[in-house]
Structure 1
Amino acid sequence: MKFGLLFELGGPPGSTREDVKKIYDDALDQITLADELGFDHMWAVEHHFSPPHSFSTAPEVFLTAAAVRTKRIRVGHGIVVCTPPVNHPAHIAERAAVLDIVSNGRLDVGTGRSNTWLELGGYAAEPHDTKQSWDEYVRALPKMWTDPSYSNPNGRFFKMPERAIVPQPLQDPHPPLWVAVTSPGTEFDAADRGLGVFGLSIGNYKAQEEKIKNYRRRIQNCEPIGPAVNEQVHVVNFMHCGLDETAAQRGRVMLDTFNHNTAHTVPVKEVYPSPLYQIGGFLPTLRQEALGPGDATGIPEGLAIGEPDRIIEVVKHWESIGVDGMNFVIQASEVLSHEEVMESLRNFATYVMPQFKTPEELAAPVATGMRKV
C-alpha cells in the first residue's frame, strides 16, 4: 500500500496575499515532513478561477518547489486539465519533462478534463468535446516524450507541424500516466489505454470494489497508448490521525469545511447539459458520502479519520478490495492549524504506516508501478 497527500491549496473566504503565501509555505513544510516520514506521493491539483477553495493554478511551479525540498517522495500532477484552450499537449509534455529532470525522475502525470463550469466556462472550452480532447491529448503525450520528433497535422483538437519536443523526461520511457476516474465507465477508458486509475470518487466499499474488479480484468487486454502500462489503482481519501476522540472531531470539521467549500462550486451539468457530464463527479460525490455517519465516530464509511486503530482497519479494508494507494486530503481552507496537520502526519507514520510497510520499504525509492510493453 502506498500513501500520498493531495493538496488543493485553499484558504478561508477573504484570504489575503499574505494568507496565500502562508498556505503555500505550510504545504511545503508538510510535504518535506511527509518525505522524511516515508510517504510515497504528493499531488497538487490544477484549478482555475476557484477562490477560496483552491489557489493551485500553477501546480508545475509548486511541484518544482516541492521536488527541490525532498529526496524520495514522488511528485504528481493531480490532475492536468487536458482540454483546449486550458492547456496545449506540447506544453504539458515540455513542463512535465523538465519537472521530471528537476525531481530526479520522481514525476507522475495525472490527466483529466475538469468538472466545473468556473474552469471550462472561464476558458470558453466546449464541454461536449472534453472527453474526445482528453483522448487525443493522452495518446499524444507518450509519443512527444519518446519520439525524436512529433507531428499532428490532422488533429481535431490541436494541430502541429513536425517539431522536436525537448527535453525528454528522465524516466525511461516516461513518467507514469494516470486518469482521474469520477464518471461511471472512466475506469474502462483507463484500462483500455493502459493508464493508472486516480480515483476521485469516494463511494462505499462495495461500489469501489466492483469498479476495481472491472478495471483489473479489462486492463489485461489493453492496447497501450505508449511503451509502458501503469496498472495501479489509487483512491483519494481524507485523513486526520490523533491519539484520542478529539481526532475524529477535528477530522469532521475538516471534512465539513471541504464539503461546504465544494458546495459553492458549479458543476458543468448544472449550467451546460451534456451527456458527458451526467453526474456531479468528485465533489458532489464527496458531499453525498459525508452526509451520513459510518460508525460511532460520526465519520462516513471508508474515511481515514480518527484514532490509529480505526484508520488501520479502514486502510486494510481498502487494501483487501484491490486498492494500491491512498492519497489523503489533510487540510481544508486552513481550518486546522499547521501544527495539528503536522502532528497528524507524525501519528500516521508512527502508528499506521508500519502496519503496511517494512522499515526497508519506507527507506527505499518509491517504485513507479509501471511495466514496459
Structure 2
Amino acid sequence: MQIGMFYQVQVPRPWTQTSDYDRHWEMMDQVVLAEELGFSTVWLADHQFRTEWSHSSAPDVTLAAISQRTSQMRLGIAVAVPPVQHPLHIAARTATLDILSNGRVDLGIGRSGYPYQMAAFGVDLENATGMVEEALEIIPKAWTEGEFFYQGEFFNIPLREVHPKPVQAPHPPMWLGCSREETFRKAGEQGLGCLAMSGGGPERLTQLINAYREGIRDAAPVGKSVTDRVSISTLAICAENRKKAQERGAEVLDWYRRQQDLRDVKVWQEQDRNNVPVDYQWHYQRSTATDSPKRNETSSLDQIKEGRYCIGDPDDCLRFLEQYSSTGVDEIMPLFQIGPMEDSEVKETLRLFGKHVIPHLDKTEQADNVTAE
C-alpha cells in the first residue's frame, strides 16, 4: 500500500490579504518535501464556491506548477467535473499537464455531490450523471484518436481532432469519484480506478472494495486501459508525543466537523427539496438527516482516541494504516493540510511519516511479496 497526499487547500478564517497566496505556496513546499520523503502521489480537489473548506479551484494549473518542482510523484486531479467543464477542455488540459510532467498524471472524474457548486454554471442536476457518462467516452477518444465525432444527449462534437496528445500510452489512468457501493461497483465495471473517503471504517470499506473488485473482474473499459486501483482519503496528524497529537488533532477536527455541518446546510439551500433527482437522493438524505450519527456522536478527542482517524504518534498512525491496508486498498491519500494546521505542523507530520510510516509499509509489502513467492 502506498502513501499519497490529498489537498483541498483549506483556508480557515480569519483571513489576511495573503491567506490564499500563503496556503498555496505552503502546499508547494510541502509537496516538494513529500517527494523527498517517498510519498507516491499528490491529489488535488476541484471545487468551486467552497469557502474555507476548499480553495482548490484550478487543480490542473496548480499541478502544472508542482510538476516543475518534482520529478517522481504522480499528479492526480480528484476530481474533474464534466457537468461544469466540457470534456474536450478536460482532455486537452490534462494532456498538456501530462506533457509538462513527463507522463505522471492521473485523472479522476466525478459529477459532484453538491448542487450549490453546479447551480452557478446553470447545470440541471437531472443531467449530471448522464453528462459524466458521456465525458467518460469522449475523453479517451480525444486522447487516442485523430479526427472523431460524438453525438450524445448532452454533448455533440462535430468531426474534430484534439491536441495535444498525452505522453502516457495509451493515455493517463482514469479514476471515478466513489461514495457508495453502487459507484464502487460501477467504477470497476468501467475499468476505472476508485477515489473515495475512508468514512465507515475498515469493515465497511472492505465491503465496498469487494464490490469494486467484483465489478472489475469482467470490466468493459471506457478507455483503452484498465486502472485497477483504489485510493482512499482520511485525515492525518502525527507528532512524537501522542498526547500533543491527540489534543491538537481534536482542535483541528472540531473545525473540520463544523465545516462539514455548514457545508451540508449550504449545498442544498437553493435546491427544491421536493425535486431531488433519484441519483442524488443518497447525498441529499445523508446531508440533511437531523439524526445523522455525525451530528450526535462523541467528542472529537474521543473519536481520535477510538482510532477513527490517522491521528497520534507514529505507532498510532501505523496501526490505523495497517487496518486499512488489510481491506485491499492500494493507496491512502491523507489530508495533511487541514483547516487550522500550521505549515510547520504539516511538515512535522510529513517528516514522521517519511521516517517511521512509509519505510515500515515498504518493508511489510516486500515481506508479503516474498511470502507470496
TM superposition score normalised by structure 2: 0.89
Name 1:322's counterpart in structure 2.
328
The SS at the match of 2:214 is helix
Partners of 1:252 and 1:299 within 8 A in 2? no
What is residue 51 of structure 1 aligned with on the other side?
51
Displacement of 1:14 in angstroms is 4.7
Mapped to 2, the partners of 1:205 and 1:348 lie a distance apart of 21
- In the TM superposition, residue 352 of structure 1 has moved relative to its aligned partner by 1.0
The unaligned stretches of length 5 or more in structure 1 are 362-373
Q: Does 1:357 align with 2:362?
A: yes
Counterparts in 2 of 1:164-243, with a 5 A limit? 164-243=161-240
**1:18 equivalent in alignment to 2:23:** no
* Contact 2:304 2:311 (C-alpha < 8 Å) held by counterparts: no
Query: How large is the Cα RMSD of the aligned pairs?
Result: 2.5
Q: How far does the alpha carbon of each residue in 1:206-249 deviate from its partner, in whole angstroms, 9 at most, with x for none?
A: 11111111111221111111210001011111111111121122
Match of 1:279 among 279, 282, 292: 282
| Change in 2 beyond 3 A, CA 1:357/1:289 | farther
Distance across 1 between alignment mates of 2:256 and 2:39: 23
Match of 1:364 in 2: none
Change in Cα spacing, 1:40 to 1:290, as seen in structure 2 (3 Å) is farther
CA shift at 1:300, angstroms? 5.2
- Partners in 2 of 1:34 and 1:289 — Cα distance? 34
298, 304, 308: which is aligned to 2:310? 304
Give the direction of change, closer, same or farther, for the CA distance of 1:248–1:315 in structure 2 (3 Å limit). Answer: same
Query: Aligned to 1:279, what secondary structure does the other structure show?
Result: helix
Measure the CA separation in 1 of the matches of 2:113 and 2:228. 24
Paired residues of 2:181 and 2:211 also in contact (CA < 8 A): no
* 2:6–2:43 contact (8 Å) kept in structure 1: yes
- Residue aligning to 1:332: 338
Task: Give CA deviations for 1:190-213 in whole Å, capped at 9, x if unaligned.
Answer: 011000110135112211111111
Counterpart-to-counterpart distance in 1, 2:14 and 2:123: 28
3-state SS in 2 of match to 1:166: coil
The residue identity in structure 1 corresponding to 2:121 is Y
Structure 1 distance, partners of 2:179, 2:296, is 17
Q: Amino acid of the residue matched to residue 21 of structure 1?
A: Y
Moved over 3 A (4+): 267-270, 283-287, 289-302, 358-361
Q: Distance in 2 between matches of 1:348 and 1:235?
A: 17
CA positional deviation for 1:184 = 3.7
Matched AA of 2:44? A
* Secondary structure, counterpart of 1:27 in structure 2: helix
Do the aligned partners of residues 172 and 350 (structure 1) sit closer, same or farther apart at CA in structure 2, a change above 3 Å counting?
same
Amino acid at match of 2:309: L
Please state which structure has a larger fraction of its residues in helix: 2
Question: C-alpha deviations, 1:297-332, integer Å up to 9, x for none?
Answer: 734544211111111111111111111110111122
Secondary structure of 2:234 counterpart: strand
**8 Å contact from structure 2 (residues 186, 215) kept in 1:** no
Decide whether aligned partners of structure 1 residues 243 and 80 sit closer, same or farther in structure 2, where only a CA change above 3 A counts.
Answer: same
**1:87 corresponds to:** 85
* Kept after mapping to 1: 8 A contact 2:186/2:212: no
Q: Which of 155, 160, 163 is residue 152 of structure 2 equivalent to?
A: 155
Q: CA deviation at 1:255?
A: 2.2
- 5+ residue gaps, structure 2: 367-373
Q: Deviations over 1:331-359 (max 9, x none)?
A: 223x1211111011001111111111159
User: 1:269 offset after TM fit, Å?
Assistant: 8.9
Q: Tell me the distance in 2 between the aligned counterparts of 1:295 and 1:209.
A: 26
Cα distance in structure 1, aligned partners of 2:146 and 2:254: 49
Change in Cα spacing, 1:360 to 1:234, as seen in structure 2 (3 Å) is closer
The alignment covers a number of residue pairs equal to: 357
Identical aligned residues as a percent: 30
Checking the alignment, whether the CA contact within 8 Å between 1:14 and 1:52 is kept in structure 2 is no
1:114 to 108, 112, 115: 112
